[in-house]
Amino acid sequence: MLSRVADSLYWMSRYLERAEHTTRLLDVNLNLMLDESPISAERRWQRVLQALGKPKNVEWTGEPYALTQALTFDTENKASILSCIIAARENSRHVREQISTEQWHRLNSLYLQVTRPEIQTQSEALVQGMTQPSEFLQSVMEAVHQFQGVTDSTMNHGEGWQFIQVGRYIERACATALLLQAYHVDLWGHPERIVDGNEYLDWMGLLRSATAFEAYCKVYTADLTPDQIFEFLLLDEEFPHSVRFSIDSLQCALEKIQGDSGKARAETLRRLSGRLQSSLNYSSVDEILNQDVLGYLGGIQAQCRAIHETIYELYVDYSIQAALAG
């Protein structure tokens, strides 16, 4: 596969996963606003920024809707939902012949939906608190889910599809690890804090931010225990948004790509991804919680970055000499 094709499919998938994750975080936290005090509101929205990696030039000013506008509609913010969708569509345009007609129509429809002229008016009204963004956020999440479903059902599951899986799951693993990191700093890091109604909402918000509330309750019932929540989102092997599931899926896609491409130089990538997979598959939540949890979660993100860089070195940004050497 051409390097530019692999690059575009990979980033198309990452940007859409990022847009969906940001959309969900905003939707969940906007819905929780009705039950919070000003102090808990500031903590919650600071945590949202932390969970999104502290986007450049975006700060909490005490106005939830202004922050939502910056994270949703502001194209000067490269991490905004609108920016991610525009970038995903641009990458898909570069590989129009590699994706199915249904994929193109779904993504192009989403792009047209979020760039229509009325969006600017909606953005301005949001800053002034004159409109609720929930309907817009829900429509974006549904569109991304539809695109992912169409991708799985209409595209050949060859090398191109595997690069889409790599992009999706490396982004998802980083996002969930960062989400857990943000909550650990604010909640787990203060064991002396008395559990009250707001803290219960915080735990529920964490699970809903990872689409995990119903899945968690089916395993542990509705008893929201911090250690069990951490274990579920980090180590559950069946839940699609857990870090372990994401890394297992990433490893599966990478092995398929390596087999199809015949890259003899893929040993470094195989070692990096395999080491991360093993560290999750053979760890217990007690072992992790008894060590530097923030360091452990940061290590997952660092390993994902190393995997990303190695993918680029092997499949995207390689030299002619390296290509000839296999």
The reported pLDDT for the residue numbered 322 is 46
Q: By the 8 A CB rule, do 26 and 68 touch? A: yes
The reported pLDDT for the residue numbered 45 is 93
The reported pLDDT for the residue numbered 320 is 45
pTM for this prediction: 0.92
Place of tokens 């090398």: 159
Contact residues for 69 (Cβ-Cβ < 8 A; gap 6+):
123, 126, 127
Q: Cα angle vertex 92, ends 248, 5, to 5°?
A: 70
Closest CA to 147 of 198, 187, 194, 108: 108
- 142 residue type, one letter: E
Tens digit of each residue's pLDDT, the chain (326 residues): 678 999 999 999 999 999 999 999 999 999 988 766 666 788 899 999 999 999 998 999 888 888 999 999 999 999 999 999 999 999 999 999 999 999 999 999 999 999 988 877 777 777 666 567 888 999 999 999 999 999 999 999 999 999 999 999 999 999 999 999 999 987 766 655 555 567 788 899 999 999 999 999 999 987 888 999 999 999 999 999 999 999 999 999 999 998 877 665 678 899 999 999 999 999 999 999 999 999 999 999 999 999 999 999 998 886 444 444 44
Beta-carbon-side half-sphere exposure of residue 50 (alpha carbons within 13 Å)? 17
The reported pLDDT for the residue numbered 122 is 75
The reported pLDDT for the residue numbered 260 is 75
- 273 residue type, one letter: S
The reported pLDDT for the residue numbered 144 is 98
Q: How far, in Å, CA of 36 to CA of 42, rounded?
A: 10
Q: How far, in Å, CA of 241 to CA of 90, rounded?
A: 26
Q: By the 8 A CB rule, do 4 and 97 touch? A: no
End-to-end CA distance of the chain: 13
Q: By the 8 A CB rule, do 244 and 237 touch? A: yes
